[in-house]
Amino acid sequence: MNKSILVLGAGGHATVVVDILRQLNFNIIGLVAAEPVKHQPVFAGIACYTSDDDVLAFNINDVLLVNAIGSLPGQDVRFKVHQKFKKLGYRFMTLVAPTAVVSLYAELSEGVQVMPGAIINANSRIGEGSIINTGAIVEHDCTIGAHNHLAPGAKLSGGVSTGDYVHIATGANVIQGMSIGEHTIVGAGATVTKNLDSNKTLYVAKPFLV
């Protein structure tokens, strides 16, 4: 029997997450968000709670949490919420959209979210709490750290490894075999052609003017 689902967050990322949960016929018993929940058809009929403390009313054995807080560079709200409830004994659901393609030989850790149209190929490992967003590609033999965000359309060739808290922005590309250190940001549309140390930001290369 499936456990009931509590969704943490009610912003844009949450609309996609809830849509996926509905497609998979999960029982969503509530949205938890400090700000008033905007009227969205996808949220219709779901109870709303205004405090993280409301989660504590639900037994850890009866519910799974889904972290639907968005992930942006330099912001750690999503990670802090994850850690808070993990320490309290709650578990996070690993969510895969029906239109995503995930190899049977890939490994997804707790709380990973694989969004519509994403692809994860064989022998890749995705760390806890990471988002593989819409249309992103993780090729074979990649190792993705915890709490990464591969934004829509990001593409990783084979054998790429990333540390924790890495953000690879929309449309960025990483060629095969590259290593990216923790807390590093790859800007939208950038191409990684050499290893990146921790705490770096790679911007799109500017073309030479002739």
Catalytic residues: 140
Q: What radius of gyration, in Å, describes the C-alpha atoms of the chain?
A: 17
Maximum CA pair distance of the chain? 65
Alpha-helical segments (H) within the chain:
12-23, 77-87
The closest alpha carbon to 190, from 208, 169, 159, belongs to 169
Alpha-helical segments (H) within 6-64:
12-23
Residue 180 structure tokens: 């990216």
DSSP-based three-state secondary structure for 170: coil
Residue 126 structure tokens: 């995705």
